[in-house]
Amino acid sequence: MCGACGRVHYTYYDRKIRRVRDLPCGEVRIYLEVEIRRVECRRCRRVKQEKLDWLADYPFCTKRFAFYVGRRCRDSSIRDVAEELHLDWRTVKGLEMQYLQEQVRRVGTPGPKVIGLDEISIRKGHDYRIVVSDLERKRPIWFGGQDRSEASLALFFTGLGPKKSKRIRLAVMDMWKPFRNSTQKHAPQAAILFDKFHVMRHLNEALDTVRKSEYARLSGRDRQFIKGQKYTLLSRKKNLSTEGRKALRILLKANQRLNTAYLLKESFSQLWEYQQEGWARKFFANWRASLKWQRLKPYEEFAEMIETHWGGIAAFIQLEDKVSLGFVEGLNNKIRVIQRRAYGLRDEEYLRLKVLTCMLPAI
pLDDT tens digits along 16-48: 888 999 999 888 999 999 888 877 777 777 777
Q: How confident is the model at residue 343 (pLDDT cuts 50, 70, 90)?
A: low
Q: 203 and 314: one domain?
A: yes
Q: What is the mean pLDDT of the chain?
A: 86
Contacts 24+ apart (CB under 8 A), 91-97: 91/58, 93/345, 93/347, 93/350, 94/57, 94/58, 95/56, 95/58, 95/61, 95/65, 95/66, 95/69, 95/70, 96/69, 96/70, 97/349, 97/350, 97/353
Position 320 scores a pLDDT of 54
Range of the structural domain that residue 186 is part of: 114-195+325-357
Position 76 scores a pLDDT of 87
pLDDT tens digits along 308-332: 888 888 887 776 555 666 787 788 8
**37 part of a folded domain:** yes
Position 9 scores a pLDDT of 56
- Give me the CATH number covering residue 186: 3.30.420.10
Q: How confident is the model at residue 65 (pLDDT cuts 50, 70, 90)?
A: very high
Q: 53 and 102: one domain?
A: yes
Could you say which of 45, 74, 107 is where a domain stops? 107
Rounded-to-integer distance, Cα 254 and Cα 225, Å? 7
Position 285 scores a pLDDT of 93
Q: Is the dihedral of CA 131, 132, 138, 139 positive or negative?
A: negative
Q: 212 and 190: one domain?
A: no
Position 64 scores a pLDDT of 93
Q: 219 and 258: one domain?
A: yes
**213 part of a folded domain:** yes
Between residues 359 and 326, which one has the greater pLDDT? 359
**5 part of a folded domain:** no
Q: Identify residue 186 by its one-letter amino acid code.
A: H
Is residue 158 predicted with pLDDT exceeding 60? yes
Position 159 scores a pLDDT of 92
**2 part of a folded domain:** no
Between residues 84 and 125, which one has the greater pLDDT? 84
**36 part of a folded domain:** yes
Q: 170 and 274: one domain?
A: no
Position 344 scores a pLDDT of 62
**3 part of a folded domain:** no
**145 part of a folded domain:** yes
Q: 85 and 161: one domain?
A: no
Q: 214 and 174: one domain?
A: no
Position 292 scores a pLDDT of 87
pLDDT above 70 covers a percentage of the chain that reads: 93
**86 part of a folded domain:** yes
Is residue 3 predicted with pLDDT exceeding 60? no
Overall average pLDDT of the 139-149 stretch = 91
Is residue 287 predicted with pLDDT exceeding 90? yes
Rounded-to-integer distance, Cα 320 and Cα 272, Å? 9
Q: 101 and 147: one domain?
A: no
Could you say which of 88, 107, 126 is where a domain stops? 107
Q: 259 and 278: one domain?
A: yes
pLDDT above 90 covers a percentage of the chain that reads: 37
**Domain count of the fold of the chain:** 3
Could you say which of 54, 79, 107 is where a domain stops? 107
Q: 173 and 314: one domain?
A: no
Q: 317 and 331: one domain?
A: no
Q: 64 and 134: one domain?
A: no
Decide: 264 and 252 in contact? Cβ < 8 Å.
no
